Chain A
């Protein structure tokens, strides 16, 4: 094989221009641009977050405790290592605008701050004033600022009095923005900011109350953050201390952006795979036009290797061109748009030139172009010159020789390997890549079956006398059919949409229809031990209340398992990440059953023992007899696992991963958590009773939780739908490519049919039927594959039932049919308009 000779021929061939490669270029361009664009935006956000890290964190570093403030020793360490500190407490509470006349409370996320807040940045208020001035006590009433949504909900004006717990505050300003907001703060209820000192007589923050304490530190310029972190963790990690610093100021946002962009890159790869189908079709069409050249070159003595190299070089040159255009678009648009949009975005973002994501996109593009080009190229060079002169389509069903097969496999492994490496979510990437490859294989098989079935149907008696339909089926089943391109390109995007549509419909039905029927009306938190009996009595005194379930509530962090650091023992499992709810009980809690071991006697007084959730125990490898150490309110407590329980979470009843024997925890300061089951109409009245009689407690309407989950689900499915739509856009380009590639054949077909007596209406009907049948077939296969995926997710991931939603299903099939019809009819005008003689004369 002479590469120089191959390069010479390739150069000569390329003089013919790029006319047949528009779809090839567009497919690559779209795929590369999408991935480069996502990567560039991610890099710009990372850069923005790094620039604002200390402001977003609220200090150079932060030490965080759950449900307690720092001990004297811890506070001393914090103060001795900082130039200045700021203590910030966060918790949920209920606010009442007019306790006497309208005691209906509003749920809020409260942030209470000290005089040093904020260490960095500025709280923007309306009317404009410094935050400390807004919170100051005037005429004996402390100040408060509220998020505008809460002001609206409670019908407040600036200057009005608002009650929180037993303390009255004066609303001084609306909160426009806080410098230290992170995604983790965006929970249930809008923000309230008050001064911590003002809470002293509020009745809030009693023992066992659920609150977080954060100590933001302004470090000396010479501080060694690494050394400080090591020292803090060495001294206090087992007391439940958590550390963050400006090196990763907003890990919540950073991780969310990372996850979302990783996910979008995976969607981009699915789009790239669809683009690959277009690339493959374009290469096949190009080689079909080059049949005579290839045959002639072979006749003149060119080896298969030379011919392979010749056309691979041409494809390589075009691929590089497509990739460069994609990088220009994907890297360029965000770079130009970010400066214009930066002020309107809720997170910091900084434009710039980021080579890494561009390189990643370029590599994906090049590998995709190669993987999808080698297959048709290998087929073409493998045929004998005589076969090539006769008809290339005769080789269409042959597999390439094994070295090409291995090469394609190797490149695919490299592509998936790089995606795993770059994405940061290896398992998700592997599953996605497996899913894409499996979907492509299923769709390719489905395309073959569609062709075979169409061919068979076209020959049945049923089709006799229905020429338009038979023509359509004959064309789908016949040689040079576009079935494979159409089913593959349309099918992949539609599969994702079908899966999302079915999962979304099933989840929505569970959350908005089935769940509310069984779920409680309220979760009530922070009920003090002295309040639990009067609270239960007060609730049960109301006719509308069906039942009240209460359980003691503590929170703690698992620090050790069998004497070994918990994270070292089980890795990054959610159970050992952060604090967990813990309860104690003499009897087996409702909605759970002991699956292994025995429950302890009611009056058990032995060493502390606990019950652990069966599912989580299996995930992290725990068994009966293992010792778990949990840090609760700064104290390490150890218990042995006595039994495992199977839990039922689906009805939103109270459940805990860890349930302790009462003798171990009942003496610790704690509150109670209750669920109140009541009719919907009574909810407003119950909320008023709770706010009036138990002002320190916090009631979370389950309806709000369902609303929140529902809207989160909607945002998520909407994001995924946009991703799938992007894949469909590439798919549509491939459809256009397939329709364009078949345009000449249709013109010829139309000319012959007209000669044989077919009217234009009948020809159009045949073309439309062909497109509709093929599109619907792609939709049907996509629906089957998508529904299968949705069923698997609902059954195995969500532990829920699955129902096929026909409306969503029919939308997918109709969508597929209509998309292909649109692409096909875009090329129908010429065959219909042309006079037969114009074509038949040139075909002589």
Chain B
């Protein structure tokens, strides 16, 4: 077995709430191997999404270290983290988080463009086709259904061929049938590109599709 793609060492997160500091994560240590898929489950408020944000460098730890692909994320400034994500990570959110002023195609092309890819739009088109939205390329997010928006978000996350794919309850805002389609697409993409997948979910059956399931309770791994 090689060195882990993602390594968390005693990761802690304390946020400032209205009533004082709140300890969200209380010392998480975890290694994720290349190509592995991990289902992260737990009740609401257990810290699943926060842990995913830390893994993506979208939040800074208040203790411990996170190493991704051999680089210490905790020592990087914001722009260095952005560059790291651009080259190595794709993230899918529960609320899709598409940019409302861009069409579906532009949303998908943006991370490729940011990475300086000359074929950004060609690849974005192919990626949209892969999620079945070839005909909706010129639509703005407001003109798409929730399931369609999430498919665009999946295409956007997968387009730069990231080594790590982070998904935060990608079916949370969708009905069961649409959710299943999205999950199929997600695993399909992961299988096609061989990415490491960290999937935050409430659904045990969805977590069961992963190689390994971890449960978070009250900010710690159970």
User: B residues 177-195 with Cβ under 8 Å of A?
Assistant: none
Inter-chain CA distance A480–B101, complex, in Å, is: 7
The listed residue (A391, A459, A745, A756) touching B156 by CB distance below 8 A is A756
A contacts with B, residue count (CB < 8 A): 39
Residues of chain A contacted by B109 (CB below 8 angstroms): 464
Q: Are A474 and B113 in contact (CB-based, < 8 A)?
A: no
Inter-chain CA distance A467–B93, complex, in Å, is: 22
User: A residues 808-844 with Cβ under 8 Å of B?
Assistant: 835-837, 840-841, 843-844
Q: Are A759 and B79 in contact (CB-based, < 8 A)?
A: yes
Inter-chain CA distance A759–B79, complex, in Å, is: 5
- Give the interface size class of chain B: 35 or more
Residues of chain B contacted by A466 (CB below 8 angstroms): 113
Q: Are A478 and B100 in contact (CB-based, < 8 A)?
A: yes
Inter-chain CA distance A461–B33, complex, in Å, is: 40
User: A residues 81-137 with Cβ under 8 Å of B?
Assistant: none
Q: Are A755 and B100 in contact (CB-based, < 8 A)?
A: no
Beta-carbon nearest neighbor of A754 in chain B:
B82
Inter-chain CA distance A751–B93, complex, in Å, is: 12
Residues of chain A contacted by B102 (CB below 8 angstroms): 471, 474, 478
Beta-carbon nearest neighbor of B118 in chain A:
A465
Q: Are A394 and B110 in contact (CB-based, < 8 A)?
A: no
The listed residue (B50, B84, B101, B106) touching A479 by CB distance below 8 A is B101
Stretch at the interface among B35-43, B55-63, B203-211, B212-220: B55-63
Q: Are B58 and A835 in contact (CB-based, < 8 A)?
A: yes
Inter-chain CA distance A837–B113, complex, in Å, is: 23
Q: Are B79 and A761 in contact (CB-based, < 8 A)?
A: yes
Residues of chain A contacted by B113 (CB below 8 angstroms): 464-467, 470
CB distance from B207 to the nearest CB of A (A): 19
Q: Are A458 and B79 in contact (CB-based, < 8 A)?
A: no
B50-93 interface bits toward A, Cβ cutoff 8 Å, 1 = contact, 0 = none: 10010010111000000000000000001100111111000101
User: A residues 716-766 with Cβ under 8 Å of B?
Assistant: 745, 748-749, 751-762
Q: Are A756 and B101 in contact (CB-based, < 8 A)?
A: no
Q: Does B120 contact A (CB under 8 A)?
A: yes
Residues of chain A contacted by B93 (CB below 8 angstroms): 840, 843-844
Beyond A393-B142, A756-B156, is A835–B99 a contact (Cβ under 8 Å)? no
Residues of chain A contacted by B114 (CB below 8 angstroms): 467, 753, 756-758, 762
Q: Are A756 and B86 in contact (CB-based, < 8 A)?
A: yes
Inter-chain CA distance A471–B172, complex, in Å, is: 29
Beyond A755-B85, A757-B83, is A467–B110 a contact (Cβ under 8 Å)? yes
Q: Are B142 and A394 in contact (CB-based, < 8 A)?
A: yes
Beyond A465-B113, A756-B110, A835-B60, is A844–B49 a contact (Cβ under 8 Å)? yes
Q: Does A707 contact B (CB under 8 A)?
A: no
Q: Are A749 and B101 in contact (CB-based, < 8 A)?
A: yes
Residues of chain A contacted by B121 (CB below 8 angstroms): 464
User: B residues 101-145 with Cβ under 8 Å of A?
Assistant: 101-103, 106, 109-111, 113-118, 120-121, 138, 140, 142
User: A residues 465-498 with Cβ under 8 Å of B?
Assistant: 465-467, 470-471, 474-475, 478-481
Inter-chain CA distance A275–B77, complex, in Å, is: 43
Q: Are B59 and A759 in contact (CB-based, < 8 A)?
A: no
Beta-carbon nearest neighbor of A476 in chain B:
B101
CB distance from B111 to the nearest CB of A (A): 4
The listed residue (A751, A753, A837) touching B110 by CB distance below 8 A is A753
CB distance from B160 to the nearest CB of A (A): 8
Residues of chain A contacted by B98 (CB below 8 angstroms): 752
CB distance from B114 to the nearest CB of A (A): 5
CB distance from B137 to the nearest CB of A (A): 10
Residues of chain B contacted by A470 (CB below 8 angstroms): 106, 113
Beta-carbon nearest neighbor of B111 in chain A:
A756
SS of A interface (majority)? helix
Residues of chain B contacted by A478 (CB below 8 angstroms): 100-102, 140
The listed residue (A459, A467, A755, A757) touching B97 by CB distance below 8 A is A755
Beyond A471-B110, A757-B115, is A479–B95 a contact (Cβ under 8 Å)? no
Q: Does B94 contact A (CB under 8 A)?
A: yes
Q: Are A837 and B101 in contact (CB-based, < 8 A)?
A: no
Inter-chain CA distance A356–B115, complex, in Å, is: 65
A316-338 interface bits toward B, Cβ cutoff 8 Å, 1 = contact, 0 = none: 00000000000000000000000
A441-477 interface bits toward B, Cβ cutoff 8 Å, 1 = contact, 0 = none: 0000000000000000011000011110011001100
Residues of chain B contacted by A479 (CB below 8 angstroms): 100-101, 140, 142
Q: Are A844 and B78 in contact (CB-based, < 8 A)?
A: no
CB distance from B218 to the nearest CB of A (A): 18
CB distance from B217 to the nearest CB of A (A): 20
Inter-chain CA distance A545–B93, complex, in Å, is: 89
Residues of chain B contacted by A835 (CB below 8 angstroms): 58-60, 78
Q: Give the one of A458, A470, A471, A755 with max B CB within 10 A.
A: A755
Inter-chain CA distance A836–B58, complex, in Å, is: 6
Beta-carbon nearest neighbor of B98 in chain A:
A752
Inter-chain CA distance A841–B111, complex, in Å, is: 21
Beta-carbon nearest neighbor of A842 in chain B:
B95
Beta-carbon nearest neighbor of B124 in chain A:
A464
The listed residue (A464, A475, A757, A840) touching B82 by CB distance below 8 A is A757
CB distance from B202 to the nearest CB of A (A): 13
Beta-carbon nearest neighbor of A833 in chain B:
B78
The listed residue (B84, B94, B103) touching A844 by CB distance below 8 A is B94
The listed residue (A467, A756, A762, A841) touching B85 by CB distance below 8 A is A756
Residues of chain B contacted by A837 (CB below 8 angstroms): 50, 53, 58-59
User: B residues 146-163 with Cβ under 8 Å of A?
Assistant: 156, 160
The listed residue (A465, A760, A844) touching B120 by CB distance below 8 A is A465
Inter-chain CA distance A843–B140, complex, in Å, is: 19
Inter-chain CA distance A266–B19, complex, in Å, is: 56
Inter-chain CA distance A133–B114, complex, in Å, is: 89
Inter-chain CA distance A774–B137, complex, in Å, is: 26
Residues of chain A contacted by B87 (CB below 8 angstroms): 757
Inter-chain CA distance A464–B116, complex, in Å, is: 10
Inter-chain CA distance A459–B56, complex, in Å, is: 30
Inter-chain CA distance A480–B99, complex, in Å, is: 12
The listed residue (B50, B53, B100, B120) touching A745 by CB distance below 8 A is B100
Beta-carbon nearest neighbor of B142 in chain A:
A391
Inter-chain CA distance A752–B117, complex, in Å, is: 19
Q: Give the one of A474, A757, A841 with max B CB within 10 A.
A: A757
Q: Are A754 and B78 in contact (CB-based, < 8 A)?
A: yes
Inter-chain CA distance A758–B113, complex, in Å, is: 10
Inter-chain CA distance A716–B58, complex, in Å, is: 58
Residues of chain A contacted by B84 (CB below 8 angstroms): 757
Residues of chain A contacted by B86 (CB below 8 angstroms): 756-758
Inter-chain CA distance A14–B103, complex, in Å, is: 37
Residues of chain B contacted by A475 (CB below 8 angstroms): 101
Residues of chain B contacted by A471 (CB below 8 angstroms): 102, 110
Inter-chain CA distance A258–B221, complex, in Å, is: 81
Known: A753-B114, A757-B87. 19 other contacts (CB 8 A): A391-B142, A459-B106, A470-B106, A478-B101, A749-B99, A751-B97, A752-B98, A753-B110, A754-B78, A755-B58, A755-B91, A755-B97, A757-B84, A758-B86, A759-B82, A835-B59, A837-B59, A841-B49, A843-B93
Closest 7 A/B residue pairs (Cβ): A757-B86, A478-B101, A467-B113, A837-B59, A759-B79, A837-B58, A756-B111
Interface residues of B (CB under 8 A from A): 49-50, 53, 56, 58-60, 78-79, 82-87, 91, 93-95, 97-103, 106, 109-111, 113-118, 120-121, 138, 140, 142, 156, 160, 172
Give 15 CB contacts A-B under 8 Å: A465-B116, A465-B120, A467-B110, A474-B102, A474-B106, A479-B100, A480-B101, A755-B58, A757-B111, A760-B78, A761-B79, A836-B53, A840-B95, A841-B49, A844-B94
